[in-house]
Structure 1
Amino acid sequence: MLAIAPSPGPGPGTDALRLVVRPLEAASFAPFGQVIESRGHPGHPINGGSCLRFHDVAQPLAHADGHGDGRLAISLFAAQAAPWEQPLEEMERHLLGSQAFVPMGQRLPFLVIVAPAGLAGDALRPKHLQAFVSDGLQGINLAPGTWHHPLRALQEGTWLIVDRVATSSQAPVDCEVVDIRAWQLRCQAGFSSRA
């Protein structure tokens, strides 16, 4: 399912809306998915003690509905840096599977802008958005159906992505997109506000 719909503007009384960007932490991010990091997970030595394994730090899903065709795929994204002040453009969601973003090879901070999974696209409003900033070593695993802005890397780099892909060419695309440019939301260090 690929749907692109414009979202209404922010509406009356939202000129002073501020979306606080806070550090990415497991507890505050839990309604939207999982933070992928070693912190908070007991590690145990493997391979003769040459590695420390942090087991099962996230649980990716290929079939959130319990059936259907699809499998997990690992992809790489080469992301360009996006300045904090670049306007937010769209929110998207994937109902059938989770989607994970993990920085590779270097410290790569990124913004995570999310909204609850239970909202219909035409009901999405600025007040529903929450924003987090990673420490550059953390990744995320978005729960199926969670609304999110596309990857907003704050530094250029490579990302490992784990998400669901259809196993049949006849399967619909699992991506619903809402255009939010009319909201004129911009991110700034420490907070996001209407321009």
Structure 2
Amino acid sequence: MGEQFPGDKNIRVSDTERSAALAALGQFYAEGRLSLEETDDRCEAVADAKTRGDLNAIFYDLPNQQIAVVDRSEQTYTATEVAELHRKGARPRAGILGLTTVLAITGTAAFASTTAFATVLLALIPIVFIMLYVMKIGPESWHAPTPRQLQRKRMIELREKEKLRDMELKAQRKERTHALTNRALDAAETAFNTKPWKKNK
């Protein structure tokens, strides 16, 4: 049994140790030691792990190597990085759509008693939605994919590759089985045709 996380097995794990374990599982998947399904299952087990012993149990059948845990306790950010994170955290499209919804509903309620066309203001909501989310009008930064979307796309691509690899392996196994069956039938036919009772008397 591997000791990927040495020391007292009863010590509760930290977030940095969990991150290191997830990175190690990704490396083992890239090496072909784990299937995508096994990697997903073990990643869930890492998230549920409470102690170092729990983490070590996840790596029981993998090469024994101490996983490097990076200490991020003193990690700091510059003012520029904080501003960039704040900018990326903003959701201008959702904000514009929300303001449009509020204004359209408020305008409809305010002008409903004075004109019959007040409900037309509600059409602004789907129009703005289509412009922002379908036609993608606005700066490119508004439409840049989030890290979560990129990760989801990557996982979908990995699953597709895994399916293709499984299909290829099944096709190869089927072809080998077919070839072996044909050889066995040919050998049996040859043996049957060379029996003594087949010889001319």
TM-score w.r.t. the length of structure 1 is: 0.19
Name the one with the larger helix percent: 2
TM-score, length basis structure 2: 0.19
Tell me which of the two structures has the higher relative contact order, counting C-alpha pairs closer than 8 angstroms and 6 or more residues apart: 1
Structure (1 or 2) with the larger CA radius of gyration: 2
